């Protein structure tokens, strides 16, 4: 299938420019350029040969070696070989998760610090927010 630039941008951005199987950093400009650093292809999570569609939620960016070695096997199996279960998050999702984690940290800060210890709440909130915001799958 041929993809226009808007569709390719959406697919690439969905995983923040990482291969959804091995997490290798991809180069947006090297779409389909075999042999170039960061070259990638559009990968069907559910292969078309097994009923997968060209709908956006079935399309991911994958480095060429991962895409071609996956063939028509399951995405779960391909990711698990690299120690992953889920695809990398987009920039938007990462940003939302960081905000949620920081907000949760403010509430927890008061529960964890005894009243006689004088530590600025924002210091604790920032530390907890960073920790809670990073509780997603490692990249």
Residue 118: phi and psi, rounded to 5, are: -100, 80
Residues 52 and 10 in one domain: yes
Average pLDDT (25-43) is 97
Q: Structural domain of residue 115, as residue ranges?
A: 91-133
In a domain, 86, yes or no: no
Of the chain, the percentage scoring pLDDT greater than 70 comes to 71
- Mean pLDDT for 63-82 is 95
Q: Are 129 and 98 in contact (CB under 8 A)?
A: yes
**Are 54 and 120 part of one and the same domain?**
no
pLDDT digits (tens, 9 = 90+) for 93-102: 988 888 776 5
Domain count, the chain: 2
**Taking residues 40-59, what's their average pLDDT?**
95
Rg (CA), the chain: 19
- Give yes or no for residue 33 having a pLDDT over 70: yes
The separation between the first and the last C-alpha atoms of the chain, rounded to the nearest angstrom, is 29
């Amino acid at each position: 299938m041929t993809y226009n630039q808007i569709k390719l941008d959406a697919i690439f951005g969905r995983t923040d420019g990482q291969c959804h199987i091995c997490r290798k950093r991809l180069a947006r400009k090297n779409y389909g350029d075999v042999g170039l650093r960061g070259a990638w292809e559009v990968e069907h999570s559910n292969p078309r040969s097994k009923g997968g569609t060209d709908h956006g939620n079935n399309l991911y960016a994958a480095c060429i070696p991962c895409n071609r070695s996956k063939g028509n096997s399951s995405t779960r199996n391909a990711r698990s070989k690299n120690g992953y279960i889920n695809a990398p998050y987009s920039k938007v999702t990462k940003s939302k998760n960081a905000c949620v984690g920081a907000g949760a940290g403010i509430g927890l800060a008061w529960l964890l610090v005894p009243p006689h210890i004088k530590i600025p709440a924002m210091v604790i909130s920032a530390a907890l927010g960073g920790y809670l915001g990073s509780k997603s799958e490692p990249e």
